[in-house]
Structure 1
Amino acid sequence: MLTHLAGPYVIGIDAGGTKTRCVVLTLGGALAGSGTGPGANPNSGGDTAGALTTALQTALGDLDRSHILAGVFGIAGAGSAGRPAAVSAARRAWQAVGLRGSPAVVTDIAVAFAAGTSAPKGIVVFSGTGAGAAVISDGAIVQRADGYGWLVGDEGSAVWLGREAVRAALAAYDGRGSPTLLTESVPRALLGAAVVTEIDSSRPRPRHERPLALAGAPALASRPAPRSTPATVPRASPPGAATATLDEPPAHAQATPNPQLAQAIIKEVYGRPPAALGRLGPVVAAAAAAGDPVARRITEEAAQWLLRDVDAVRPALADPYAPVVMHGSVLRDGPVAEAVRDGLRDRFAADPRRAGDGAVGAAGLALRRLGHALA
């Protein structure tokens, strides 16, 4: 082992809904080990203790366990409601790899903020498997908005984007919604191109029907509308978002539905943990970038939800010049990230900071607890 990588060490873990990442750092901030594991949020179908153990074991390798001084685990779902289970899982994983004592457990939200700045206080807006915003002070959440999980919240998350993409594709298939590039890209992402081709070739096609174009949205208007279209049921939207009403039937609904493809999508969606829908986030972003109006509506609404979260927690931030951090896969790049970044600039008259590795942020919190600062 290189001299500068000799112990003592601290451990940082960022355990999200789809992936768990662990790093081992020296007190000087050098990386001594890293590892990954599956998603750890039990609310999204994850095995918390198992995911933590896998990531820890890989990161530690053959490092001397007696040189580990501290650890901070940021775990999705470790808020007040899920904290007892998260703490228990963290302790089991810690002991399973031969470590003494126990790690500190915080939410992945606090770790997300620490991944973007060494400042003790500020705002983090996040969108990955989960989504929301929070005011952070010394690793603790002062006030939060959303981050409540896929079933009752997380509007604007990758999972939310995926769910909306599936909804839009199914609505287009059965005539309730507008044609969209998502009717091609969603089944390909979920089922694979070979399966989609097999299903599509097994049904008869009317002579007038043409395959949906993949290059961009302009070809969508060429599809004939049906003689009658069921009304669209309204659903809750954030301020400023367009809301369909019972008197507003969708335009250009798809003429010929594909029941087999729709059922294959349903089987895939319900056969996997909810967090798996997050893989459709990039699919929505790509369709929006291609000009698809349905996908653009979805990404615009996602950005509105996230900015609404920021507006909800902002009054709890005493320092108007404290940093604002953007964290998560949805906020790295793409249409949602761009819209949120623009909205934050308007609100704070400064560029938001982009978060780095959440596990390194967690290790930074561990160093701070020992009186060290991560360079």
Structure 2
Amino acid sequence: MLTHLAGPYVVGIDAGGTKTRCVVLTLGGALAGTGTGPGANPNSGGDTAGALTTALREALGDVDRSHVLTGVFGIAGAGSAGRPAAVAGARSAWHAVGLRGSPAVVTDIAVAFAAGTSAPKGIVVFSGTGAGAAVINDGTIVQRADGYGWLVGDEGSAVWLGREAVRAALAAYDGRGSPTLLTESVPRALLGGSAVRNQEPSARRPRHHRALALAGAPSLASGGAQGGGGTGTALLVADDPSGEPAHHPRPGPPPNPQLAQAIIKEVYGRPPAALGRLGPVVAAAAASGDPVARRITEEAAEWLLRDVDAVRPALSDPYAPVVMHGSVLRDGPVADAVRSGLSERFGAAPRRAGDGAIGAAGLALRRLGFPLPD
């Protein structure tokens, strides 16, 4: 082992709903080991202890366990409701790899903020498997909005995007919703290309038509979150001899009950967090101009900005940093809209979070009195 990596060490873990990442740092902030494992959220039915142990053992490798001073585990679902299970899983993993004492357990929200700044306080807005916003002060959540899990919250998350994409595709299949690229991309992502090989929704469209979609779903900003609103109307606009556009209903994909049932079987046969893999599918469709996908991404951004607005009054320092964290907020239409909204609200561009496990290890260093690495 290189001299500058000889320890002592701290451990940081960022355990989400679909993946767990662990790092081992020296007191000077040098990376001495990394490891990964499956999702560890106790509220999603994952094997918390097993996932943490897998990532921790890989990261430690042949590191002398007696040189590990402390650790911070940021675990999704480790709020008050899931804290007992998260703490028990963390302690079990810590002892399983031969470490002494016990790690500190915080939520993954706290380490998400620490992954974007060394400042002790500020706001983090996050969207990955879960979604929400919080005011953080020295690793503690002062106030939060959402982050309540896939069943009752997490609006604007990758899982939420995936669920909305499936709903839009199914609605288009049975005639309740507007035609959308999602009728092709959703089953392809869930089932593979062969499942949609014979589905060609554009085959029946007349030539020399240009499609317009009038999204009828209400915006959250106009009160649409409280209900109402349809799925929108799709039209074909064809030039008639007079030069005026003639409007005709746009045919959607032919009914395909078998494909719809295959999607349902796949969705209900996997953990809810698996829907998160459709997040990039929605973003790609939105970027291609699909009005249904654009409505979904716009609504996701509105939910996330609402979360920020809800917690902002608890931030005492108006110049404290704002951090964006999570796969949905790295790039794409949701990230662009949220970044723009945050810049307007705070008069400065938000910071982009890095590795959450590094953020957790940085919190461990701070607890020992060492500065967080930049």
**TM-score between the two structures when normalised by the length of structure 2:** 0.90
CA separation of 1:255/1:61 partners in 2, compared to 1, >3 Å: closer, same or farther? closer
CA contact (8 A) 1:176 1:250 kept: no
1:317 aligned partner: 315
CA displacement, residues 36-91 of structure 1 (integer Å, 9 cap, x when unaligned)? 00011122232111110000010001110000000000000000111111000000
Contact kept in structure 2, 1:238 and 1:308, CA below 8 Å: no
Separation of aligned partners in 2, 1:295 and 1:222: 14
Aligned ranges for residues 31-46 of structure 1 at < 5 Å? 31-46=31-46
- Deviation per residue, 1:202-229 (Å, 9 max, x gap): xxx9xx96179xxxxx988399xxxxxx
User: 302, 309, 319: which is aligned to 2:300?
Assistant: 302
Matched-pair contact (CA < 8 Å) for 1:178–1:253:
no
Q: For 1:239, what is the secondary structure of its paired residue?
A: helix
Task: Give the equivalent residue in structure 2 for 1:221.
Answer: 211
Q: Which residue of 2 aligns with 1:229?
A: none
Aligned to 1:228: none
- Give 1:256 shift: 1.7
RMSD (Å), alpha carbons = 2.2
Distance 1:359 1:253 in 2: 49
Partner of 2:145: 145
Distance in 2 separating the partners of 1:281 and 1:49? 28
1:287 and 2:285 aligned:
yes
The share of aligned pairs that are identical, in percent, is 82
Q: Which amino acid aligns with 2:220?
A: P
Decide which of 319, 332, 349 is 1:351's aligned counterpart. Answer: 349
Q: Is 1:29–2:29 an aligned residue pair?
A: yes
Matched, 1:7 2:29: no
Q: Which amino acid aligns with 2:76?
A: A
Cα deviations across residues 214-259 of structure 1 (Å, max 9, x unaligned)?
A: xxxx988399xxxxxxxx9x8x963336678477864346252111
Whole-angstrom CA distance in 2 between matches of 1:45 and 1:368: 32
**Structure 1 residues 132 and 220: alpha-carbon distance in aligned structure 2, compared to 1, 3 A threshold:** farther
Question: Which residue does 2:271 correspond to in 1?
Answer: 273
Bigger Cα displacement from structure 2, 40-49 vs 249-258? 249-258
1:108 — aligned with what? 108
Closer, same or farther: CA 356–158 of 1 in aligned 2, 3 Å: same
In 1, Cα distance between equivalents of 2:219 and 2:123 = 24
SS class of match (1:119): coil
Q: Is the 8 A contact 2:159 2:274 kept in 1?
A: yes
- Aligned residue number for residue 222 of structure 2: 240
1:210 aligns with 2:192: no
Give 1:136 shift: 0.2
Letter in 2 for 1:239: A
For 1:219 and 1:132, the matched residues in 2 are separated by: 42
Q: 1:89 to 1:118 in 2, by over 3 A?
A: same
Gaps of 5+ in 2: 235-249
On the 8 A contact 2:220/2:302 being kept in 1, the answer is yes
Aligned partner letter, 1:39: G
Q: Which residue of 2 aligns with 1:215?
A: none
Distance 1:134 1:249 in 2: 34
The number of equivalent residue pairs is 353
Q: Closer, same or farther in 2 for the Cα pair 1:210/1:317, shift >3 Å?
A: same
Amino acid at match of 1:318: S
2-side partners of 1:338 and 1:18: how far apart?
24
1:301 positional shift: 0.2
2:166 counterpart residue number: 166
- Relative to its length, the structure with more strand (as a share) is 2
Q: Return 187-196 or 145-154, whichever deviates more.
A: 187-196
In the aligned structure 2, how far is the partner of 1:152 from the partner of 1:237?
20
Under a length normalisation based on structure 1, what TM-score does the superposition of the two structures give?
A: 0.89
Q: What's the secondary structure of 1:12's corresponding residue?
A: strand
Q: Distance in 1 between matches of 2:230 and 2:99?
A: 63
SS at match of 1:24: strand
Contact map agreement 2:13 2:23 (CA 8 A) in 1: yes
Q: Does 1:92 align with 2:92?
A: yes
Tell me the secondary structure at the aligned position of residue 116 of structure 1.
Answer: coil
2: CA distance, partners of 1:6 / 1:141: 34
Q: Is the 8 A contact 1:90 1:103 kept in 2?
A: yes
Q: CA deviation at 1:317?
A: 0.3
Structure 1 gap ranges (5+) = 213-217, 224-231
Distance 1:39 1:354 in 2: 23
The one-letter code sitting in structure 2 at the alignment partner of 1:238 is L
1:86-143 deviation per Cα after TM superposition (whole angstroms, max 9, x unaligned): 0000000000111111000000000000000000000000000000000000100000
Give the equivalent residue in structure 1 for 2:339: 341
Structure 1 residue matching 2:222: 3-state secondary structure: coil
Question: Are the counterparts in 1 of residues 178 and 232 from structure 2 also a CA contact under 8 Å?
Answer: no
